[in-house]
Amino acid sequence: MNTEDKSKKRRSCPGCQLPAKTCICPSLPAEPLFSLLTKSRLIVLQHPHESRKKNRSLPLVELCLFGKKRGKDADSTGKPPEKNERSESDFVMKTIVGRRFGDNCDAGVLKVLRDPEEVSVLVFPHEQALELDAGLKLAEERRRARGESTGKDMKINLVFIDATWKLASEMNRKVSSLGEWPDDLIRVQMKPSEAEATSIPRGASRGGNNDRG
């Protein structure tokens, strides 16, 4: 294979970063979808091994939410925030790369997970997990009730674990044993047909795929 052939083989799309032959940019939403998440935040706990995979699906989720350009510290507009312009908990999506959350985790994520007024939902199989619809209904009831009692515009924190099934199970047990999940955490699990609808929940329902912990 000559140099020109190798160059063609390695060529990647500058938008989705996938090989040019498998570019998915034409299938991406015309406008970023982050504006639809007005009542929720996405928190992804991603195993370090997963973050190094070239075929990981999380970047595709970010492309759908924020468009082709998203800096590590992008806020809900998809742009890097000005210092002191927003609160730590004002975000649409954050990815924590690590096996647990821990005290060195992102301050905004720790704030919402440790706040007893917050409503958090973990999408991961569990013996006490509710079905998706029932879990989200309960979460919305809590969000409205706590919003009325506090006078705040509350959001639902949707938490996913991004890793292989074995590693995701270990991560869940570790976080649970260290008491890092909220006391009133709502656990939900998805049916296979529901999980196939989106990349992150599919990974979570099978053990998950997903900043520092």
Helix (H) or strand (E) holding 3: helix 3-10
The residue that leads in pLDDT, 82 or 207, is 82
pLDDT at 194: 52
Cα angle 97-106-112, degrees, rounded to a multiple of 5: 115
pLDDT at 159: 96
Percent of the chain with pLDDT over 90: 46
- Residues 41-69 pLDDT 10s: 999 999 999 988 877 778 888 888 888 65
- Determine the Cα–Cα distance for residues 177 and 171; give it in Å rounded to an integer: 10
Q: Is the dihedral of CA 69, 70, 76, 77 positive or negative?
A: negative
**169 CB-side CA count, 13 A:** 6
Report whether pLDDT(70) > 60.
no
Q: Is the pTM of this model over 0.85?
A: no
- Please spell the DSSP secondary structure of 25-74, one letter per residue: GGGS-SS-SGGG-SSEEEEEEE-HHHHT-TT-SHHHHHHHHH-S---TT-
- Where are the chain's structural domains? 32-205
- Please spell the DSSP secondary structure of 126-177, one letter per residue: -TTPEEHHHHHHHHHHHHHHHHHHH-S---EEEEEEES-HHHHHHHHHHHHH
**If DSSP codes are grouped into helix, strand and coil, which group holds residue 109?**
helix
Residue 34 to residues 10, 40, 103, Cα–Cα distance (Å): 31, 10, 28
Band (pLDDT 50/70/90 cuts) for residue 2 is low
